[in-house]
Amino acid sequence: MSRKPWYKTSPELYHSLHQEVQQAYPELQFSARNDTVFLSGNFILRDKGKVVDSFLIEIEFPFNYPKRIPVVYEIEGRIPRTADRHTYPSGEVCLYLPLQLSEIFPAGSTLLDFLNSPVRSFFVSQSYFELTGEWPFGAWPHGADAIIEYYAPMLGTTDRNIISRYFEMISKKEIKGHWLCPCGSGKILRHCHYEMASKLHRDYQYAISQTGRRDRKREPDIAV
């Protein structure tokens, strides 16, 4: 028996999302092609009710939504498809550093939360950058440097080898207390940084469960 996509198994959810989006973002329209749901149209940016900019976008929902997060594309070609503009060659936009997903899109978040927070922030940033050449909320570096910058404050170190060991540990399916702590103390994990490592592991696994990605090109080896 073939599986059915989410909008056929949960038509009430699809209907609810349709109503919510039409009220908040009437320029966006739902459609279904080959059992995949898309939300397409002009994403309007408003400031105090005034339209200040818009981007032509398409949001692709995964087959098993809401277990995984949608993917957003800028389809007009307005944004250069380069790493410096946080856009992949396919037009997919990089809304967030995957490692921070649990912060900006925690479990239980809704589609409107997704549109109002990471999606809106991304396009506000792009619009502002076009005008000023600066990022209003700052911008993560790419590859290994992004991982270093993200984890350094939490781990209290910028040592690439230590951060690499932590990253290797939390990317495993589970962590075990008898492993040596990545901090280099020589202690086993349960007698050292187990609580922190467990939280980082949960956050990483949440990102994997939502995006379905273990892409080493996006999260590269950071050892020296």
- The answer on pLDDT for 208 being more than 90 is no
- The answer on pLDDT for 223 being more than 70 is no
Q: For the chain, what is the domain count?
A: 2
**Is residue 221 assigned to a domain?**
no
- The answer on pLDDT for 143 being more than 90 is no
**Separation CA 164–CA 154 (nearest Å):** 14
Q: Are 10 and 70 part of one and the same domain?
A: yes
35 DSSP assignment: T
pLDDT of residue 104: 85
Q: Are 22 and 75 part of one and the same domain?
A: yes
Q: Are 97 and 162 part of one and the same domain?
A: no
**Separation CA 96–CA 114 (nearest Å):** 11
- The answer on pLDDT for 216 being more than 80 is no
pLDDT of residue 195: 95
Q: Are 119 and 22 part of one and the same domain?
A: yes
Q: Are 99 and 192 part of one and the same domain?
A: no
pLDDT of residue 213: 55
- The residue-averaged pLDDT of 116-123 equals 96
Q: How far is CA 31 from CA 36, 37, 44, in A?
A: 8, 6, 19
- DSSP codes of every residue in 175-203: --TTSBPTTSSSSBGGGTTHHHHHHHHHH
Looking at per-residue pLDDT, the higher value among 209 and 54 belongs to 54
**Is residue 173 assigned to a domain?**
yes
pLDDT of residue 39: 98
87 DSSP assignment: B
pLDDT of residue 106: 87
Q: Are 152 and 49 part of one and the same domain?
A: no
pLDDT digits (tens, 9 = 90+) for 145-165: 888 898 999 999 999 999 999
pLDDT of residue 3: 85
Q: The domain that contains 68 carries what CATH number? A: 3.10.110.10
- The answer on pLDDT for 209 being more than 50 is yes
pLDDT of residue 2: 61
Q: Sorting pLDDT into bands at 50, 70 and 90, what band is 32?
A: very high
- The answer on pLDDT for 103 being more than 60 is yes
Q: Sorting pLDDT into bands at 50, 70 and 90, what band is 217?
A: very low
Looking at per-residue pLDDT, the higher value among 98 and 218 belongs to 98
Q: Sorting pLDDT into bands at 50, 70 and 90, what band is 218?
A: very low
Domain that holds residue 125: 6-132
Q: Are 66 and 90 part of one and the same domain?
A: yes
- The residue-averaged pLDDT of 19-31 equals 96
**Is residue 34 assigned to a domain?**
yes
Q: Are 67 and 104 part of one and the same domain?
A: yes
Q: pTM here?
A: 0.84
Q: Please, what is the average pLDDT of the chain?
A: 90
Q: Are 128 and 39 part of one and the same domain?
A: yes
Within 10 A of 42 (CB to CB), how many other CB atoms are there? 16
Q: Sorting pLDDT into bands at 50, 70 and 90, what band is 142?
A: confident
Q: Are 109 and 190 part of one and the same domain?
A: no
